[in-house]
Amino acid sequence: MQLKVQPIDVKVGKYKVILNTIDAKELGVNEGDRVRIRDHETLTAIVDFTEDMISPGMIGLYHEVKEALNKEWTETVEVFPAEKPKSTYIIRKTMDGQKLTKEEIDILVKDIVEENLAEIEIAAFLTATYINDMTDDETEWLTRAMIASGDTLDFETHPIMDKHSIGGVPGNKISLLIVPIVAANGLLIPKTSSRAITGAGGTADLMEILAPVEFDAAEIKRMTEEVGGVLVWGGATNIAPADDKLIKVEYPLSIDPHCQMLASIMAKKGAIGADHVVMDIPTGPGTKIKNVQEGRKLARDLINLGDRLGMDVDCALTYGASPVGRTIGPALEVIEALKVLESFEGPNSLIEKSASLAGMLLEMGNVAGKDKGYDLAIETLKNGKALAKFKEIIKIQGGNPDVTHKDISVGEFTEDIIAPNNGYILEMDNKRLVQIARLAGAPNDKGAGLLLHKKHGEPLKEGETMMTIYAEKKSKLETAAKSAKERTPFIVEGMMLERIQSFKEI
C-alpha cells in the first residue's frame, strides 16, 4: 500500500507508526502488529491505530522512523504487513514455561537492544522470568548475550578487579574508598557505577561532585591502564546496554527477576573483563535481601554464574539494617569519604566495611597474603597512599586533584530533628531515611541529604539532635522536615507512640 508521510515529532524510543483504521483494515493489520516500510531502506515498525489523528492515505511516522527514513511531509512510502519478530515466539515460550536455547536468547537480547520489541512484549518476558525463573544454562547464555550486545574492555594486563554492591542500604559510599585502596596496591579496577533511581545517591552521583563520570569504554580502558582505577557512570557507556532497556520496564513493575538480576550484575563485570570480583550483599530489613538464608542463596548463584563465565567471585554478606557511615546524600557522603582518606577520621561502619571488602580484593589479586588483606587496606588508608591514588583518579577523569573535604559545599538550609524523649535507638528505617533524603532534594540536589548524629543502638537524651536534614531549597527542606516529624525513621525504645485511655479512667 502506498501511503503519504506525516511526520509526528514525538520520540517513543521504538520504531512506531500510526495508521488510520481504514488503511490498517485494508492492509489487514491490527494494533500492535508490525508493518514493513520499503524505501531505499527497509524498516519494520510497530503499528498504532487512529480514527482521526492521521487521515486515510497517510502514515504517521514517529520521530525514530522519520529519522531512519528521512522522508518529508507527504512524500510516499510503500507499506506491507510484516511478520512478528522471532523474539515474540521466544517470549511466548518463556510464558509457557519452556526452556530457551542459546540461539533464542541471543536473538531476544539482540531485539531488545535494537528496540524491535514493544514494551508490553518486554513486560511479558520479564513477568514470565520473574515467575518461572531461568535455568543456570539460560542465565549464563543471557549474561553472555548481554556482554556481547555492547562494548567490552580487553586489557593486556591482568588481573582485573571489580566490586559490586547489591542495592538497598543507604549511605553506601564504600566504592570511593575501595577503588583507591585497590589501585594504590598495583591492581587494575575499572569501576562502573550507577546513578540512584530510587535511592538518595549512587556512586556515580557522588563521584560526579569530584570529577566528570561520563566516558566510553575506550576511555575507561586508557584511564585505568594509566592510574589503575576509575569511578565512572556505567550509563554513559555502551557496556551491556540490554540491561538499561530491561530496567526501564522492570522499574514501573517494581520487579527484579532473580535471573535478570544475576545476568545484569555479571554482564557488567564480564564486559569489563573482570577476573576477580567481590560482591557486597547487604542483608537485613529494608534491604533487597531480607535474611542471611536469602543472602547465601544469592551468593551461591553469583559464585556459580561467575564460575561459568571464568570469573572468580567472592561474596560478603554485610550488615544492612542501618546506613553505612553517618551521611546520606551525594555531597555529605563525599565529605565523609574524603575525611577517611585525608585523616583516617570517620565512622567505624564505613572504615570497617570498606577495608574488609578492599582486603578481600587485595587477597584475591595476590598483593596481600591470606587474611592480610584487611590490614593492608587499613594501612593503605592510614599511610595516605589511598588518598594519593584517589587524587590521581580524580585528575585523570578531569577533576581537581587538590580538592579536600572542606571544598565540598552542602545545602545551605538545614533543620535538626530532635529526640522527643530519653531512650536508645532500637531500629532505623532505611526506606524512610532514603525517602526523607529524596524529599530534601537528593540525589538531584547534590548538597541535599541527611547527617545522622545517632545510630542504631546508641543512647539518646530528650532534646538531643538525632539527625540534621540538609537541602538546597527552602521548600524542599520544609517538606522533608515535615515528613521526618510526622513519621520518624528512628524507633526509640522508651518513646511512647500513643496513649489510649479506657473510658473508665476518664
Binding residues for AMP: 168, 194-199, 203, 264, 288
Residue 233, classed as helix, strand or coil, is strand
Amino acid at 308: R
How many residues sit in the footprint of its own copies (CB under 8 A)?
Answer: 45
Binding-site member from 254, 348, 501, 502 for its own copies (CB under 8 A) = 254
Exposed / middle / buried, residue 487 (Cβ in 10 Å: 0-12, 13-18, 19+):
exposed
Contact by Cβ (8 Å): 50, 20: yes
Residues 64-123 that bind its own copies (CB under 8 A): 84, 88, 91-92, 95, 97, 118-123
String marking each residue 136-175 x if it binds its own copies according to CB under 8 A: ----------------------------------------
Nearer to its own copies, 48 or 140 (CB): 48
Q: Is 45 in the site for its own copies (CB under 8 A)?
A: no
Q: Is 28 in the site for its own copies (CB under 8 A)?
A: yes
Nearer to its own copies, 11 or 158 (CB): 11
Sheet holding 459-460, edge to edge: 459-460, 423-428, 490-493
String marking each residue 381-420 x if it binds its own copies according to CB under 8 A: ----------------------------------------
CA distance 57 to 407: 63
- Cell numbers of 380, please? 593503605
Q: Which stretch binds its own copies (CB under 8 A): 104-112, 129-137, 169-177, 213-221?
A: 129-137
Active-site residue identified among 33, 244, 256, 314: 256
Neighbouring C-alpha atoms within 13 Å toward the C-beta of 481:
16
Q: Which helix (H) or strand (E) holds 221?
A: helix 217-227
Residues 184-213 that bind its own copies (CB under 8 A): 197-198
Q: Output DSSP code: residue 109.
A: H
Q: Output DSSP code: residue 85.
A: P
Nearer to its own copies, 130 or 319 (CB): 130
Q: Which stretch binds its own copies (CB under 8 A): 22-30, 136-144, 310-318, 380-388?
A: 22-30
* Residue linked to cell 546496554: 241
Any catalytic annotation for residue 256?
yes
CA distance 45 to 33: 8
Close Cβ partners of 365 (under 8 Å, ≥ 6 residues apart): 159, 161, 182, 185, 187, 276
Catalytic residues: 256
* Residues near its own copies (CB under 8 A): 8-11, 25-26, 28, 30-33, 50, 53, 63, 84, 88, 91-92, 95, 97, 118-124, 126-128, 130-132, 197-198, 248-249, 251-255, 438-439, 444
